């Protein structure tokens, strides 16, 4: 199994004005990541949870250790789909992923989890076991635009997520239309992620007035928008 690499992650809710200031500044110094089309790209995720909504309530209750599973694709391109497990352990976290075909993902959306019974990938095996033992099911689709910058030393990523929508009609995951409830009151969420160190010059680049630290969870907000 691939060694787990814990990462630091800091989030800030920022205004539209500060989003424009920061993205304009960063474009001069950092490259966009590989998914960018005309600076930004579209992210769509389908989150799974237990019948008791354990991942939802662990976040609401502030549990130190939390994990959640999601299926994700980018720019409405269905040839590259991943199952991801995201873990938060205190102040740090990590993410593991495995490739899925569209056909396999569609079966998981329909809760036909036995299609994973013979898979050898460790993450797919874990997901299968938890789906069967904890009655996991798809809960909510989260879709948003992202502008992301990358810096290889320190594995640094600076992302700006905006125009988030949430929808509980999970069967529409592969639809190219953006539907659902729009996140109110938050123009943009800035996230700064890195492994062991964040260069001082990047810290300086992302400084603006009126940034507000947040534990912003797209999954939890999406569930609230749809009244759980």
The predicted-structure confidence for 54-101, as pLDDT tens digits, reads as follows: 999 999 998 999 999 999 999 999 999 999 999 999 889 999 999 999
Could you tell me the pLDDT band of residue 9, with boundaries at 50, 70 and 90? Answer: very high
**Residue whose C-alpha is closest to residue 103's, from 73, 130, 81, 135:** 81
Question: Among the residues of the chain, which ranges form H helices?
Answer: 16-26, 54-60, 102-109, 122-134, 200-205, 218-225
Task: Tally the C-alpha atoms within 13 A of residue 115's C-alpha that lie toward its C-beta.
Answer: 14
Residue that has been written with the tokens 């912003």 in this structure:
216
Judged by phi (left if over 0) then psi (alpha if -120 to 50, else beta), residue 180 lies in left
In the predicted model, what is the mean pLDDT of residues 7-28?
Answer: 93
Q: What is the mean pLDDT of the chain?
A: 92
**Residue whose C-alpha is closest to residue 69's, from 131, 132, 157, 145:** 131
In the predicted model, what is the mean pLDDT of residues 14-29?
Answer: 94
What's the pLDDT at 1? 54
Length of the chain as a residue count: 228
Instruction: Give dist(CA 110, CA 171) in Å, integer.
Output: 8
Fold of 8-226: mRNA Triphosphatase Cet1; Chain A (3.20.100)
Instruction: Give dist(CA 35, CA 43) in Å, integer.
Output: 10
Instruction: Give dist(CA 71, CA 109) in Å, integer.
Output: 9
DSSP strand E in 177-217: where? Answer: 181-182, 188-194, 212-213
Residue that has been written with the tokens 């789906």 in this structure:
131
Burial 107-127 (b: 16+ CB within 10 A, else e): bbbeeebebbeeeebebbebb
Instruction: Read off the pLDDT of residues 22-66 as tens digits, 9 standing for 90 and up.
Output: 999 999 999 998 877 889 999 999 999 999 999 999 999 989 999
Cβ atoms of 183 and 219 within 8 Å: the answer is no
CA distances from 18 to 69, 135, 190 (A): 31, 42, 10
- Which stretch of 63-72, 112-121, 206-215 has the lowest confidence by average pLDDT? 206-215
38 C-beta neighbours (distance < 10 Å), count: 7
What's the pLDDT at 212? 62
What's the pLDDT at 98? 97
In the predicted model, what is the mean pLDDT of residues 187-211?
Answer: 89
């Amino acid at each position: 199994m691939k060694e787990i690499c814990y990462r630091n992650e800091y989030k800030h809710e920022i205004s539209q004005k500060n989003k424009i200031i920061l993205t304009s500044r960063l474009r001069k110094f950092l490259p966009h990541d590989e998914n960018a089309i005309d600076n930004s790209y579209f992210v769509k995720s389908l989150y799974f949870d237990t019948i008791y909504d354990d991942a939802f309530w662990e976040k609401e209750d502030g549990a130190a250790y939390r994990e959640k599973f999601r299926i994700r694709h980018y720019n409405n391109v269905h040839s590259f789909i991943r199952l991801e497990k995201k873990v938060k352990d205190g102040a740090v976290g990590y993410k593991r992923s495995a490739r899925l075909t569209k056909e396999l993902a569609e079966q998981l959306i329909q809760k036909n989890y036995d299609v994973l019974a013979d898979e050898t990938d460790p993450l797919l095996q874990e997901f299968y076991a938890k789906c069967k033992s904890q009655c996991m099911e798809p809960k909510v689709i989260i879709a948003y635009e992202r502008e992301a910058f990358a810096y290889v030393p320190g594995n640094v990523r600076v992302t700006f997520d905006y125009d988030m929508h949430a929808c509980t009609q999970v069967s529409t995951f592969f639809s190219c239309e953006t539907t659902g409830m729009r996140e109110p009151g938050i123009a943009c969420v800035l996230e700064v992620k890195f492994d062991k160190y964040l260069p001082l010059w990047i810290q300086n680049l992302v400084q603006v007035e009126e940034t507000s630290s947040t534990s912003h969870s797209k999954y939890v907000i999406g569930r609230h928008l749809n009244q759980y």
